[in-house]
Amino acid sequence: MLDMYDNAVLGFWYTKILMNLDEFLALHILRDTNCHIKHRKHLNMSIIKSDNLFIAKASTFPVDLPLVSVIIISYNDRKYVGEAINSALAQTYPNCEVIVVDDGSMDGTGEFIAKYYGDRVRYQWKENGGMGSARYTGLHMASGKYIQHLDSDDMLLPDKVASQVAYLEAHCEIAFVYGRTIYFCDDDRTVTYEHPENAREHPLNARARSGNVLDDYVRNGNFINIGHTLTRREWIDRIGGWDASIRGCDDVDIMLRLAYAGAEGYFLDRPVYMYHYTLNTRNLSDTTGGEMGRHDQHNWVEFKESDIYAWEKLRLAMRRDSHPSLALVTKRVGYLHFHLGKHLFGRSKRLTALNHLWRGLLFNRERWAYKMAVLAAVAFLPGAQLRELSTHLRVAFQKTKGCTAKL
């Protein structure tokens, strides 16, 4: 029979781990000698009495807590990866495994992790293959019921996993839960996962909602960062896991496929994820080019091509299923092609630009701006490239002749 002190200790940890943190702070502690704890297990604990509250310091926890796999992907990010790992190891939820997938780094990331973290994390180096490939590798290493993704220059807030596991355990119909993202810049050196006070609200938080998010994605584009979600492994497996061929926009791809498969999400309105807004991030987001270096321009184009790829997969699935949102998704694919074409044309890659502008026109034939952009691109092409374009268009026309009516 458990005495009053054992009940207090068990009540403390049961409440802290399995309930929302706000409710836990309100309850403080369960001290009723008759309280019933579902998970009655004798824990090896020392008890400290302070201000009439019993606080437990645990060396072991209930063994039936679901495992959470925290998968960190990194590429030449030794400067920041330690902060990401520390934020994962500092989670108040006790049953986490931390996996780091190194996507071909050459900056000593592996040596750094081995020296400072040892067997506290599972480290895997692989040839560089992009973000989708890295997450694919991490998922196959993971054993958890729930999957938490983390980029190597971002951080989790300490109660992120605990609060979201509590919700998912209580709501089996929900496939994923997500919260608010806060962000900080390179010059915000006072911001850490332990002291996030000076971080700023991410503007996409205003679009957050619960339920199936497919319609919001189709109408307004991406608004969920994969890092601020916690997802049931069974749902990721149900849609075939991560697409290892996609180098960027992997979060758009996975969320589109989850939503199209009918997954329901829940927005838990609290800060959970810290997004690092680096100078490189800003450059890669600069659609006008600006001060982009050659390497950043290549990455930005690769990123946008991956975005198109993710939406094109959805378009083809909707066309197969005669989905009512097919027309909207078709226009979005055209919009993405058009804006990538404009960018490439400004970088003198005119034949590649024209290919994207032509596709933009194909999917948005009523847009006069697209037609004028195609004509302008053709006007600037030298003779040899015009002949190459003519051949290309004849082949493309033959391929699309039989299916344009279905677009």
Say what angle helices 160-170 and 4-18 make with each other, to 10 degrees.
Answer: 90
Kindly state whether residues 135 and 220 are assigned to the same domain: yes
**What pLDDT was estimated at residue 247?**
86
- Tell me the Cα Rg of the chain: 25
User: What confidence tens digit (pLDDT) does each residue in 224-278 have?
Assistant: 989 999 999 999 999 999 999 888 889 999 999 999 999 999 999 999 998 887 6
CB 101 within 8 A of CB 128: no
Residue 298 lies in a domain: no
Give the three-state DSSP class for 147: strand
* Whether residue 378 sits in one domain with residue 261: no
Give me the pLDDT at residue 352, please. Answer: 78
Percent of the chain whose pLDDT exceeds 90: 45
What digits encode the pLDDT tens for the residues 56-100? 333 334 558 999 999 999 999 998 999 999 999 999 999 999 999
Which of 229, 254, 277 is the C-terminal boundary of a domain? 277
Asked, for residue 334, whether it belongs to a domain, the answer is: yes
Count: domains in the chain: 3
**Whether residue 99 is found in the same domain as residue 75:** yes
Domain of 231, in residue numbers: 68-277
Q: Dump pLDDT digits (tens) for 281-301.
A: 433 333 333 343 444 555 778
**394 located within any domain:** yes
Per-residue model confidence as pLDDT tens digits over 184-216: 776 666 666 666 666 777 888 888 899 999 999
pTM of the predicted model, to two decimals?
0.73
Tokens of 393: 């268009």
Amino acid at site 177: V
